[in-house]
């Protein structure tokens, strides 16, 4: 009988040591986004991050998150960036446009730069749903985003290190090349 396959698993860690994390936070619906931001900062602190490792940039609304996140990512100064926002459904189709373009913009910025951009934009039908996701019944999605930022930064570093070793390049240069694309 053939042996079972046991492929290697590569995972990111949850230590923020040596990482630089950016946070882009929407000011619109600040009642919610401030709670998400607090949750993200709590997770980063528990992962070992210090104030010096984190930079917060405020934007007017969720629609403005992608351009600022992309500029931060393209700077080469950050290992991951958390995008914090909250869009609540209204009576018009404005919600659909903002949600769709914000998500698309963040994804494109992530793919263009090679820096993990963590999507922490609540897209809720009601304020009550948003409140539940910003620290009540459903936990704090900001906290989850903080952990995801650390894990993805570590994972990208590991992959870059393996790529650099395979191609004969150094880990630092492979990591920098990936962030400057």
**Short-list 15, 14, 18, CA closest to 53:** 18
Find the angle CA(54)-CA(59)-CA(61) to the nearest 5 degrees: 130
Q: Which helix (H) or strand (E) holds 52?
A: none
Name the active-site residue from 94, 104, 176, 181: 94
Find the angle CA(177)-CA(178)-CA(181) to the nearest 5 degrees: 80
Neighbour-count burial of 6, counting CB atoms closer than 10 A to its CB (0-12 exposed, 13-18 middle, 19+ buried): exposed
Whether 94 sits among the annotated catalytic residues: the reply is: yes
Q: Report the catalytic residues.
A: 94
């Amino acid at each position: 009988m053939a042996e079972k396959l046991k492929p290697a698993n590569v995972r990111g860690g949850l230590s923020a040591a040596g990482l630089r994390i950016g946070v882009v936070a929407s000011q619109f619906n600040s009642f919610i986004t401030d709670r998400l931001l607090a949750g993200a900062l709590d997770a980063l602190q528990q992962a070992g991050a210090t104030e010096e490792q984190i930079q917060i940039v405020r934007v007017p609304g969720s629609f403005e998150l992608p351009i600022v996140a992309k500029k931060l990512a393209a700077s080469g100064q950050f290992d991951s960036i958390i995008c914090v926002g909250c869009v609540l459904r209204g009576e018009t189709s404005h919600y659909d446009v903002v949600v769709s373009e914000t998500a698309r913009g963040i994804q494109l910025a992530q793919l263009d730069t090679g820096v993990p951009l963590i999507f922490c934009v609540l897209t809720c039908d009601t304020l009550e749903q948003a409140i539940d996701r910003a620290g009540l019944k459903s936990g704090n999605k900001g906290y989850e985003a903080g952990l995801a930022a650390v894990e993805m930064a570590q994972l990208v570093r590991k992959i870059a290190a393996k790529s650099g070793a395979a191609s004969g390049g150094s880990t630092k240069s492979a990591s920098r090349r990936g962030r400057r694309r």
